[in-house]
Amino acid sequence: MRKVTAEEAQQWLIEKIAHRLGIGPADVPPEQYFDELDLDSTEALILAGELENWLGFELGTTALWYHPTIKDLAAHMAEESVQRAAAA
């Protein structure tokens, strides 16, 4: 399990999303809503799997609903990683 900062998580998400979309990371704003990105369901599932592998734990299925932007999800990922590291 990894302990990540919000900045690390945000950068990871931006780089992975940019790669999946075939655009530069600078073209993926952190305030972008996930439903506004052109990720199809297969790409989203692959991204979720990569995310879980990187973090070392699974985010809840409602994480994207309650944290609908890259910036919001990154902050949530950082909070979760701190809580899980403290509990381990």
For the cut 80, the answer to whether the pLDDT of residue 2 exceeds it is: no
DSSP 8-class letter at 6: H
The model's pTM is 0.89
Which domains are assigned to the chain? 6-87 (1.10.1200.10)
Residue 76's H or E segment, with its range, is helix 70-87
What does the pLDDT read at residue 79?
94
Q: Which two tokens stand for residue 5?
A: 């900062």
Q: Read off the pLDDT band of 63 (50, 70, 90).
A: confident
DSSP 8-class letter at 33: B
Complete DSSP assignment for 53-75: HHHTSPPPTTHHHHS-BHHHHHH
